[in-house]
Amino acid sequence: MARKKRRAIIILVVLLILAIIAGVFALLYLKTDLFKSSKTLFVKYLGQTTNHLEGYVNKVTTNDYITKLNENKYITDTSIDINYKDGNLTQEESANNQINTLKIGVLGQVDKQNNYRYNNIKLNQNDEKIAELEYVKDNSKYGIRFSDLFKQYLLVDDNSFEDLMRKTKK
């Protein structure tokens, strides 16, 4: 009987020691980087770095950028290529589609301090101008011109804009 008790105590002590060792390893794995692979560590610290950078970029760069845009004049130059694909056409037929030869270009000037904005919008096909539209906002006056059709702008004041819209609805 004493031998069975001794054997049970030894087995219990060994299991207890193994459980403590397993608990220590689990704690080390979960709370430290000791047993983690380099790939896991890379992803973990990349995520932390990205979070830190995101906060920094959002606070510093975005505020500086918005401040500069509000205080300085600037020019915008945007080009939009149109790419239309039809599931019924082959890849070559889709590439030769007339819609895919269209490009929209927008050249703009902005001066927020003086409440001025100018945009020149061009629709091109194969580098040949199809249509052009110009838009101007100067303080409370808005102007639009289709330069291919008219030589002068259609100007509207903030006060008369509602009247113009009422008249065009009739």
Mean pLDDT of 25-31: 84
Q: What is the pLDDT of residues 80-93, one digit of tens each?
A: 888 777 767 666 66
Tokens of 140: 């409370």
Higher pLDDT, 119 or 66: 119
- Dist CA 15 CA 45 (whole Å): 37
Q: What is the pLDDT of residues 106-162, one digit of tens each?
A: 999 999 888 899 999 999 988 888 889 999 998 888 888 988 888 888 788 877 767
* pLDDT for 16: 92
Question: Could you tell me the residue range of the domain that residue 93 belongs to?
Answer: 73-169
Higher pLDDT, 108 or 28: 108
33 and 110 assigned to the same domain: no
Q: What is the pLDDT of residues 37-53, one digit of tens each?
A: 888 878 777 766 666 66
Burial letters for 17-31: b for 16+ Cβ neighbours within 10 Å, e otherwise? eeeeeeeeeeeeeee
20 and 51 assigned to the same domain: yes
| Residues 6 or more apart whose Cβ sits within 8 Å of residue 153 | 134, 136, 143, 144, 145
157 and 87 assigned to the same domain: yes
Number of domains in the chain: 2
44 and 90 assigned to the same domain: no
* pLDDT for 150: 81
